Amino acid sequence: MPPHFWRQSGLHCRRMSVDPIELLGRRFVEAIVAAFGSEFAETDPLVRTAQNPQFGDFQSNVAMGLAKRVGRNPREVAEAIVEQAALNDVCEKAEVAGPGFINLRLRGDALPRLLEDLEGVLKNSEHPTIRSKTRSSWASGQAARVGVDLVGVNIAKQMHVGHLRSSIIGDTLCRVLARVGNDVIPQNHLGDWGLQIAMVIASLRRRGVDLDRLDLDHLEAAYRDATLDCKADRQALEAARRINAGAHRIAEWEAQVAGAEDRLDEAKRTLVRLQQGDRDIVSAWEKITAITMQACYEIYDLLDLTVTEEHNRGESFYRERLGPVVDEFIRSGVAKESQGAIVVEIEGDETPLLIRKSDGGFLYATTDLAAIRYRLQELRAQRVIYVVDNRQRDHFRKVFEAIRMIGWDRLPGGGRAELRHVAFGAVCGPDGRPLKTRSGDNIRLKDLLLEAIERAGAIVRAKNPELPQDEQREVARAVGIGSVKYADLSTHLIKDYIFAWDRMLAFEGNTGAYLQNQYVRIRSIGRKAPDGVRADAPFLVSAAEEKALALALLRYPGTISSVAETLEPHRLCQYLYDLAGAFSVFYTQCPVLKAETTALRDARVRLARLTERILGDGLGLLGIRTLERM
RNA sequence: GCGCCCGUAGCUCAAUUGGAUAGAGCAUCGGUCUUCGGAACCGAGGGUUGCAGGUUCGAGUCCUGCCGGGCGCGCCA
């Protein structure tokens, strides 16, 4: 799929665009075709916001690259494009600068028009929920169905920091993709099947634990015990024998190993019974699944995730599909037998992808292949996204390559589905090492989130003690969770980031709390606006601060589509921070409610309301709550 | 040993997909202001973009080789 797939249909259509970059881009493509011929119709016009206001509002960098292809010097090419471009209705005269930059300045009357259109688009677009059939009216690309793999909890275990990023990032990507018109299908790939689970069930049954009275804490303890019980320390036994550690010591290790092997056998027998549908075992499995998921749903709720129970597609879901997957890999000749196992050899990789063990068992790669097949062939997704940490990069490269080799990514209309691993870095403590408790355990997600809310609450109480208690709680939750999310989303996904409470809860700088507060400030203008303010008063854009704010507002649709395309949420964060900054400058320089004339007042109120709308919408896409007061 | 990811101001991070003079926030110093929510705004100092080559009109970004840090590498998930 070409990199601009998600944008291309919008680029050539005739409808009026609210995005000046898209609008100008179309005019440039037309000019390029007029100047150099139709074979250049697919040229990316490279229209960008100007880097420096002294150059104008927008610029195109297309001439330098085009110069080589048409065999003329860049400035000549730029002049030729400017000559052909129909820009009079929106721009002042275009200027060629430097090696061939084309600088553009919007006409004074163009901004009000564009703002009207932008406001119209926002008014007409409901907030489409995930899987909603409604298309937002700024859908930039051809609507596609997208499967998003996210969260990924394990049965019998608490959610911990390791699930934080996949949940937050995955949730935001779902919202953004739905916003630009995709049919998004979240998929929560639960670790709910296999030997690990059987070990827990066997262990609980052996100890006679009453599953109806079990909570997740005890269940997790049972998980740890079961894992230890089954882990035979053969190396220790060998070592004890080698150094002749004494009969007593050796006998101890022998007993440990023998015990572990018994437990493991028991677990394997339990797994067989589970797989065969044994009523008691299946009932136990259902109970521990319910206990775990109930706790998970509480956390989803705390995080305001859009994923729900209906998006659960765990390993158990695929259990009947694993055999056929391997069979087809063998039949198609893509997989072959190697040392008793079934493997797919990946070109350029030393180690193959293992899809069936020599004992006949399946592996997690098998489940991933089955899951991708399901998403492509049964859900009919054209795009499958995995929001999983960076350590699994090699794994997904191999799995995707295996899918490509067997051809399951072929689309009915020709072409191939896009399989994409959205890899993210680790959450680190102040020492720069992955975040752990002092004893080296994973930090529970619930503890972390509750601490965020508590810390935010303390700040709110200190800064705004007059706020009623229930509102303080609401603010604490919105700010605490919002800060954690924003800290996670606002840096480049691939990098590790350092988790620091004081920085992420700061009310200054590029933080969630700062944006939430800017939203509240803008909101209070709208609240205080007198009744006489006309909601449809003409936009007036004359002051430099007004113009800067208007230009920032107009960048919103383009920002959203670039996030949908690159799957990089930090672009949206950076945008919202820029927007909030542009508003702050406007607000300090341009009186709104105290403007000199009512026309100016009404125009500025409208501008403020539009800013409020976009800031609120953007925060919503990040899954961050907005407030009336804080 | 092989492979992947990261290295940008004292600290935490950006840089419009190869564009013009590498930008923000914290911290430091200075300024604005009879608060439309000051939880604000403006300004200053601070850089050999880990190092060395290469590609071209142009490189933080692309290619090669080093250095440093992190993480993976058949029958766990």
**Per-residue model confidence as pLDDT tens digits over A181-215:** 899 999 999 999 999 999 999 999 999 999 999 99
Q: ipTM more than 0.85?
A: yes
Strand order in the sheet with A47-49: A47-49, A58-60, A101-104, A95-97
Q: In this model, does residue A84 exceed pLDDT 70?
A: yes
Q: What's the pTM?
A: 0.93
- Rounded CA separation A514/A574 (Å): 13
pLDDT bucket at A74, cuts 50 / 70 / 90: very high
What Å value separates CA A361 and C1' B8? 48
pLDDT value at position A126?
Answer: 53
Residues 291-330 of A with CB under 7 A from strand B: 315
Q: Worst-scoring range by mean pLDDT, A65-79, A114-128, A378-392, A549-563?
A: A114-128
Mean pLDDT, range A79-98, rounded to an integer: 93
pLDDT value at position A13?
Answer: 32
pLDDT value at position A135?
Answer: 36
Mean pLDDT, range A205-232, rounded to an integer: 90
What Å value separates CA A174 and C1' B70? 29
What Å value separates CA A514 and C1' B24? 14
Q: Which amino acid is at A403?
A: I
What Å value separates CA A112 and C1' B3? 54
Rg of the Cα atoms in chain A: 29
Cβ density class A192-206: b for 16+ within 10 Å, e for less? bbbbbbbbbbbbbee
> Nearest 10 degrees: CA dihedral of A400, A401, A404, A409?
10
Residues 19-48 of A with CB under 7 A from strand B: 46, 48
Residues 548-587 of A with CB under 7 A from strand B: 562, 565-566, 568, 570-571, 574, 577, 581, 584-585, 587
Task: Please state, rounded to an integer, the average pLDDT across all residues of chain A.
Answer: 90
pLDDT value at position A14?
Answer: 33
Q: In this model, does residue A140 exceed pLDDT 80?
A: no
Q: Worst-scoring range by mean pLDDT, A135-144, A189-198, A561-570, A575-584?
A: A135-144
Q: State the nearest residue by CA to the C1' of B75.
A: A357
pLDDT bucket at A6, cuts 50 / 70 / 90: very low
What Å value separates CA A271 and C1' B73? 29
Residues 531-550 of A with CB under 7 A from strand B: none
Q: Worst-scoring range by mean pLDDT, A109-118, A315-324, A377-386, A430-439?
A: A430-439
DSSP structure string for A477-491: HHHHHHHHHHHHHSS
What Å value separates CA A507 and C1' B41? 15
Q: In this model, does residue A233 exceed pLDDT 80?
A: no
pLDDT bucket at A164, cuts 50 / 70 / 90: very high
Strand order in the sheet with A341-344: A335-338, A341-344, A353-356
Higher pLDDT, A135 or A40: A40
Binning chain A into helix, strand and coil, the percentages to the nearest 5 are 55, 10, 35
Structure token pair of residue A383: 């795009």
pLDDT value at position A128?
Answer: 40
| Tens digits of residue pLDDT in A571-620 | 999 999 999 999 999 999 999 999 999 999 999 999 999 999 999 999 99
pLDDT value at position A234?
Answer: 76
Q: State the nearest residue by CA to the C1' of B57.
A: A99
Q: Is the CB of A212 under 7 A from strand B?
A: no
Residues 267-286 of A with CB under 7 A from strand B: none
Asked if residue A115 lies in contact with residue A350, where contact means CB atoms within 8 angstroms, the answer is: no
- Rounded CA separation A90/A86 (Å): 9
pLDDT bucket at A413, cuts 50 / 70 / 90: confident
Q: In this model, does residue A443 exceed pLDDT 60?
A: yes
pLDDT value at position A142?
Answer: 56
Any idea which nucleotide's C1' is nearest the CA of A350?
B2
Structure token pair of residue A9: 């249909």
- Rounded CA separation A188/A208 (Å): 31
